[in-house]
Amino acid sequence: MTIKETIKKYSQELKEVTHIPAKEVEILIMFLLEKNVIWMHLNGNFEFTKEEELKALVKKRATHFPLEYLTNRVSFYGETFIIKQNVLIPRPETEILVEKAFEKLKQIENPKVVEIGTGSGIISVMLSKLLPQLKVTAVDINDDALELAKENAKKHSVENQISFIKSDLLKEVSGDFDMCISNPPYISNNYVLPHNVKYEPKNALFGGEIGDELLKDLIKEVTEKNIKYLYCEYGYDQKESIKNYMKKFNVKSLEFYKDYSDFDRGFLIEFNTK
């Protein structure tokens, strides 16, 4: 059976799981053959020799198991990162947070950033690639996430710019920082997750009974550490709650932004620091 015929055959098994079944089978074949898209398009009529391996991957994907965990790869900001189970899979919307942080940080000489909930490290790594003078402290409570983030920092040759610390929010963090950046857990505890998201770590998703409790704890700790800027993602329905909570603090500016689907996605705070 040729590669083209294989794609057609196995894409039928993924029609209930994804809106791009043929593309996903193609990705799995490229993963197995260690080839790229150009090679695939030029060699579609070649005999495919790893059907048993592909069959096993497709069977697992058909259970809604994330494609990224099968290939251990994820694309972000035009770069390829390593991803593994028990670490949150990066979403394209987080690229907006990186872009907004970059626009502010490039105005600061030798900026220092602390990232809370670094996960796979994509935010810290991308900002370090964009700003060679940047120093980052990347924090997570998940040992698997910290190890993976270190791998990604090394893969992208920015390991000298990033320090990794295990901490619950900022509790174990010391030093002065210009900015705290975070894509924290903000889903309410009783929210029913889509099938594919159920395979991701719960402590990277759920933020409390309402959902924004952990986020509010982070805001409070950032003010106590006298950090000037806080750039965060949050839940699409949490804007008013965050606006009201911010009245407790000495805020110079508060800006909200939307994602690619026009949902509320994040906020940018500048505090009046001492």
The full set of domain ranges for the chain reads 3-63, 85-271
- Model confidence over 74-112: pLDDT tens digits? 999 999 999 999 999 999 999 999 999 999 999 999 999
Q: Cα separation of 86 and 248, whole Å?
A: 35
- Model confidence over 206-250: pLDDT tens digits? 887 878 899 999 999 999 999 999 999 999 889 999 999 999 999
**Based on C-alpha coordinates, what's the Rg of the chain?**
21
Alpha-helical segments (H) within 141-266: 143-155, 213-224, 239-245
CATH superfamily of the domain spanning 85-271: Vaccinia Virus protein VP39 (3.40.50.150)
127 pLDDT higher than 90:
yes
Using an 8 Å Cβ cutoff, are 137 and 128 in contact?
no
182 pLDDT higher than 90:
yes
CA of 218: how far to CAs of 169, 201, 215, in Å? Answer: 7, 20, 5
Give the chain's end-to-end CA distance (angstroms, integer): 69
